[in-house]
Structure 1
């Protein structure tokens, strides 16, 4: 990854570690409370350990240490060179216990909302995209060039995208691969501070960290990551789009669209969420139109964050039934993922056989296609070959024999895979 062009230059204003308290973009009181809570949780500590835990420079932590020492909130228990060992005094423990009732966060120090906003804006993708680059990103799928030529302009525009069409033809597979066109890493903060509250943003479950060989000069409150691609499906509801306050810890979790900033957010199976589609779409109107979103703390204070994510709606339902014209207009790109054509179906089957180093009888692709057309009512789906081959693999394992695709196995697997229409019996 070309880090020089992607992480250092856009992030230069914030990526250099603060050496003094005056250079920090967050209030000194926030750092002081973090440090007191951290010492309390660790029982005893030292400047180097606190510096690593809070991702702050040694001089900044040393400055806070000196102030806590002057206030008789900590006592020194030893030292090695410039590194002091210390623990909290009784007064320090009382302060920590009071502050823990407000917030239990004692992880990496946050960045300010202003720094976060500036960083997101600096990292909005600005790159050309060619057909060959998009073809490379989709190289493990079997797709037509006509389809790629519809996707390309949508990616360049960084606008929202509506992928729709019959189920089982690769809408989700295409959506999650769109992130591959971005080769540059981005900086994501561990947490963001606003109005004295901590919002945890970095999530190792959805953010893939890039090992950048931390050299001590960087602001380690930021994590170098691949551009995110977050997929949410039927579990999505309105609450996931708002700040989530943990009442026990007093810490907020960032909503899914904030975690997806500078990347892609895939709304899979759109229209099948618990919340009504129109309610969900109404929540997206302002962000999609103005590229900003508004969040609120638990006590009603609202603030603005950038909305710099490409939202991909994937559905097998009719878009006209899910959204009105006003909303569909805000989603500028509508790409139809058509049913799988016979030649494409055979290519998918043949590719899977080769990739998995399987052997098959001649004419297996044609036989499977005929079985699927008959069982599905005349419509092929791109998912059929893989699903059927997985069943054949299970059959072979059950019978303790090597996998060899025969027409008999295809017929047996198809009978397991496809449901039969039951006739109503008279009672």
Structure 2
């Protein structure tokens, strides 16, 4: 097999060489080919191979069937390749098939192959405190918190991050992806009961341009996915969505997040109630399988091979009952920062931004943040306050510098008066 430079997938399906190797019905492949040929007008075996992500032997096999049935007509040669169009009967077939589905992209993989691939690519993490500190190097994370995150990440079970807002729960959750050093293969689409489920999504999947000619081209090599949702989460995002115009199903978010991380930020503040979400996922979290339903009632199983991270500033016991919390084995409190951690964050911010600061400005900021009845320091305060000071300096057309008068002005703007 051709060696790759950089991350490598743990799963490498071989390139199918004939129609039966694909694991899907031949009629579906023929439908794809005639729809694609109709879109292209003049087609070649090479152009169809690229568009449908199928090997030339398979395209040639389907081409010969269509030619024998007088559904395509050869118009000439392009080098050693045929140039052809649909006959009138072929156009009629393509038009009929377009009424059912307009999909004419990469050939889908069989559902059973998707199951096998997802299980084979289940994340395995082997880290210690040193490696984890390196993964979170751009954050100031106390060792005590690292020592809770480490075992949770190794277990790959779901995580409940809770604690007051502004202490970096979301930042921590988003950086968990850094502990993975490998790549995964994600199919462009999956076939279920002759229906097309579009899965690969360039918006949420980061493609790695590491094409391996020995791997089935219907799969895309990607970084492990990390999907973040917040208050916009609604029940329909967790179910198949059929585009009536195209006849194509869009995979739900948890399916797109398979072999990666699904972060539910500000859990408890979604349009979807916590109870509805927890009831929807109590079985998937426990058994690592989920169930989806096609429009006409066919229900099928998909893998639920992902790490779900719930991030909230609400009390977990107010959001979920004991039965659900038992299934989230890792509950990690991200506490307000200690004074020495606050100072480290401040120094990190002024150093990163290359901002001059008076020698005792950090202590002064810390005291102001703990005035006015406030009793806790938050990790977000240094960056937020210095950003306000930057705006003040820009407004007054003077160089940015962190000093006591500007700290006072920024703090006054930042905190609401009770």
TM-score, length-scaled by structure 1 = 0.94
RMSD (Å) for aligned C-alpha atoms: 1.6
Q: Is the 8 A contact 2:278 2:320 kept in 1?
A: yes
- SS of the residue corresponding to residue 65 of structure 2 reads helix
- Tell me if 1:88 matches 2:86: yes
Q: Which moved more, 1:82-91 or 1:131-140?
A: 82-91
Structure 1 residue 399: deviation in Å? 2.3
1:271-316 per-position Cα deviation (integer Å, ceiling 9, x unaligned): 0011221111011100011111001101110000111000100000
Measured against aligned partners, the alpha-carbon deviations of 1:10-37 in whole angstroms (never above 9, x if no partner) come to: 423x2x2111112212111111111111
Give the drift of 1:318. 0.6
Q: Quote the residue 1:111 is aligned against.
A: 109
1:50 alignment partner, one of 44, 48, 51 = 48
> Structure 1 residue runs of 4+, over 6 Å off?
none
Supply the distance in 2 between the matched residues of 1:149 and 1:43 (Cα, whole angstroms): 60
Q: Distance in 2 between matches of 1:396 and 1:28?
A: 68
SS at match of 1:155: helix
Which residue does the alignment assign to 2:405?
408
Q: Does 1:270 align with 2:232?
A: no
Selected match of 1:145 from 109, 129, 143 = 143
**Structure 2: runs of 5+ lacking an equivalent:** none
Q: Which of 146, 169, 172 lines up with 1:171 in the alignment? A: 169
CA–CA distance in 2 between the matches of 1:114 and 1:347? 51
Among candidates 24, 27, 30, match of residue 29 of structure 1? 27
CA drift of 1:388 comes to 1.2
What is the SS of the residue equivalent to 1:359?
coil
Q: Deviations over 1:174-195 (max 9, x none)?
A: 0011110000001011110010
Matches within 5 A, 1:264-303: 264-303=261-300
Return the match for 2:204 from 199, 203, 206: 206
Q: Choose the corresponding residue for 1:311, options 268, 293, 308.
A: 308
Aligned to 1:73: 71
* 1:393–1:5 distance in 2 versus 1, CA, 3 Å: closer
For the 8 Å contact 1:202–1:259, the answer to whether it is kept is yes
**Does 285-294 or 366-375 show the bigger shift?**
366-375
Whether the aligned pair in 2 keeps the contact of 1:3 and 1:184 (CA below 8 Å) is: no
Deviation of 1:38 after TM superposition, in Å, equals: 1.1
Q: More deviation in 135-144 or 384-393?
A: 384-393
Q: Deviations over 1:357-386 (max 9, x none)?
A: 111111111111112112462221111111
Q: Where in structure 1 are there 5+ consecutive unaligned residues?
A: 422-427
CA contact (8 A) 2:108 2:190 kept: yes
CA contact (8 A) 1:39 1:88 kept: yes
Secondary structure at the aligned position of 2:124 is classed as coil
Per-residue deviation at 1:328?
0.5
1: distance between equivalents of 2:197 and 2:267?
28
Aligned to 1:62: 60
8 A Cα contact 1:375 1:418, kept in partner:
no
| TM-score of the superposed pair, with normalisation by structure 2 | 0.96
Residue deviations 1:76-127, cap 9 Å, x none?
A: 1111343111111111111111111111111111111011100000011223
Question: How far does residue 267 in structure 1 lie from its aligned partner after superposition?
Answer: 0.7
- The alignment partner of 1:360 has SS state of coil
Q: Distance in 2 between matches of 1:177 and 1:215?
A: 28
Q: Does 1:326 align with 2:323?
A: yes
Question: Could you say what secondary structure the match of 1:223 adopts?
Answer: strand
